[in-house]
Amino acid sequence: MAFLEAHGLRKRYGATVALDGIDLSVEEGRILGLIGPNGAGKTTALNAILGLIPFEGELRVLGLNPWTQRDALMREVCFIADVAILPRWMRVSQALDYVAGVHPRFDRAKAEGFLARTAIKRTSRVRELSKGMVAQLHLALVMAIDARLLVLDEPTLGLDLLYRKQFYDSLLNDYFDGSRTIVVTTHQVEEIQNILTDVVFVNGGRIVLRNSMEEFETRYVEALVGPEHLAAARALKPIYEREGLGRSVLLFDGVDRRQLAALGEVRTPGIADVFIAVISGAATGPAYSRATNTNQGGTR
């Protein structure tokens, strides 16, 4: 059984369809990036996974129904959201005391070890910490819980570049061990590309692309083409095209790199480049169909 499995997952808010028949399978030990524009359904999907909202269809997380078996699920899951704010009156030491008192799988010594690498003082109140320090504190508390699934919803929103890098470095070096599973949503897709094992694009409550990163990096290719080769490159049916400095940048799905190398400089596109091509709807016809009907068997 997959670590996380959804079939026909749906959620409505009145007349608004937030999730429209999501099918998804995630195995243990994967880091899944759930990427989409505002209002695409990402947070609704995470809320369903966490058992915070009822839903239609089938959803199993660690073999459990999140809505009806949430108490059991929460022993195995941790969550960090962009709106997760620790009480501002609380001291750091009190935060450690609180989590130690409510979660049986919290390792206080491990949390203390994480905090020892920061400038956070145990006597400081949350209101005295910068936003970056609050994120560090929250991450230290979460990483010290022996959870099998970590869900992150825009966890570095509003943090500067240094704190964002430190956050993801800590996540990889101190938390992820190949057996845990992480699901993360963010608009800063370039910063998480190198840590992901799988990527899913969501738009309008539907999955429009899903790939392992191995498949992603072999499937998509960008070519920087001069005017003299532009017609030949367009004949290969790019899924997206934009203007560069003196050259056109064309994005292809499943086209042989050697064929493109004869026309211009070839490189692997980033997640953001493919995201723009798929979500913007700039690609049409058969090429767009290839981009939107990927790996329908699920994320592995």
Nearest to 217 by CA among 273, 278, 135: 273
pLDDT digits (tens, 9 = 90+) for 71-81: 999 999 999 88
Residue 4 β-bridge partners? 26, 61
Residue in the block written with tokens 């009822």: 54
- Quote the pLDDT of residue 282: 35
pLDDT of residue 29: 93
Report the pLDDT value the prediction gives residue 19, as an integer from 0 to 100. Answer: 96
The pLDDT tens digits of the residues spanning 49-102 come to 999 999 999 999 999 999 999 999 999 999 988 756 789 999 999 999 999 999
Predicted structure pTM score: 0.86
Q: What span, in angstroms and rounded, lies between the C-alpha atoms of 21 and 194? A: 29
Amino acid 244: pLDDT: 83
Domain regions of the chain by residue span: 4-204, 214-292
Q: C-alpha angle 215/240/232, rounded to 5°?
A: 100
Q: What is the largest CA-CA distance in the chain?
A: 69
Superfamily of domain 4-204: P-loop containing nucleotide triphosphate hydrolases (3.40.50.300)
pLDDT at 1: 57
Average pLDDT over residues 121-145: 92
Does the pLDDT value for residue 107 go beyond 60? yes
What sign does the dihedral 77-81-83-85 (CA atoms) show? positive
Higher pLDDT, 48 or 156: 48
Percent of the chain with pLDDT over 90: 69
